[in-house]
Amino acid sequence: MSIVNAELDLSSQPSKTKVPKGGVSKRVFDVLVASTMLLFALPAMFFIAVIMFSTDRGPILFGHERIGHNGKRFRCLKFRSMVVDSQAALARHLELFPLARAEWEASQKLRDDPRITGIGKFLRVTSLDELPQLINVIRGEMSLVGPRPIVQDEVVRYAAEIEHYTATRPGITGLWQVGGRSDVDYDHRVRLDSQYVREWTFAGDLLILVKTVKVVIARTGSR
């Protein structure tokens, strides 16, 4: 698949019926573990929501359109960590600061991101902003482990590797998260996503989940 055709091919993928990588066993594990985690996380999520509402009266949750299994689009849920007019704030920042624009074009991330709120920075560093994605897992849009969900604009950066990405459900965590997160460049991230799909094993998922706990505690590669 060429870079030019990568986006076009995705438009027909939602009609495919191929079972996501890992099949039934991975799905059953996802539902059981995500449901249990959500139950235990509810008090913390309520506390976060109260703090957010008391400091910033914008929406508590943010749903951003991402590409899922077979190219199907879904709303990836997070606690909102950015200002309400985030796109306008980003555009102004990139226009004023050429170095920031170059950083954004290279990785789709900024070390000094003007869009992030005070509590949003804390939520991101601790990865608590991603707790609502447990709902995405239960609904079957995501998996606990898999490639990090991407937006449409990122499809061309995967080129032929997009076929590996769309062969499974995107994950809350994965090889990229335990391999450096923001410290890893985008090309390396694509290679890690493809490697995960090609070499998937249930034991590998368990190992990634264990490593994720260590990464979150150490805050490795977080921004």
pLDDT tens track for 66-107: 999 999 999 999 999 888 777 788 888 888 888 888 888 777
pLDDT tens track for 106-136: 777 788 787 888 888 899 888 899 999 999 9
- What pLDDT score was predicted for residue 92? 86
| Tokens 């920031």 found at | 100
Q: Per-residue confidence at 42, pLDDT binned at 50, 70, 90?
A: very high
pLDDT tens track for 140-177: 999 999 999 999 989 999 988 999 999 999 999 999 88
Return mean pLDDT, the chain: 86
- What pLDDT score was predicted for residue 5? 42
- What pLDDT score was predicted for residue 84? 77
- What pLDDT score was predicted for residue 10? 58
User: Cα–Cα distance between 154 and 198 in angstroms, integer?
Assistant: 20
**Read out DSSP for the chain?**
--HHHHHHHHTTGGG--PPPTTHHHHHHHHHHHHHHHHHHHHHHHHHHHHHHHHH--S-SEEEEEEE-GGG-EEEEEEE--B-TTHHHHHHHHHHH-HHHHHHHHHHS--SS-TTB-HHHHHHHHHTGGGTTHHHHHHTTS-EEESSPPB-GGGHHHHGGGHHHHTTS--EEE-HHHHTTGGGS-HHHHHHHHHHHHHT--HHHHHHHHHHHHHHHHHTTT--
List the beta bridge partners of residue 73: 67
- The amino acid present at 74, given as its one-letter code, is F
Q: What are phi and psi of 193, to 5 degrees?
A: -60, -45
| Tokens 């460049």 found at | 185
Q: What percent of the chain has pLDDT over 70?
A: 88
More confident residue, 53 or 218: 53
- What pLDDT score was predicted for residue 73? 97
Q: Per-residue confidence at 221, pLDDT binned at 50, 70, 90?
A: low
pTM: 0.82
Q: What percent of the chain has pLDDT over 90?
A: 52
pLDDT tens track for 183-215: 678 888 899 999 999 999 999 999 999 999 988
Instruction: With beta carbons less than 8 A apart as the criterion, state whether 111 and 183 touch.
Output: no
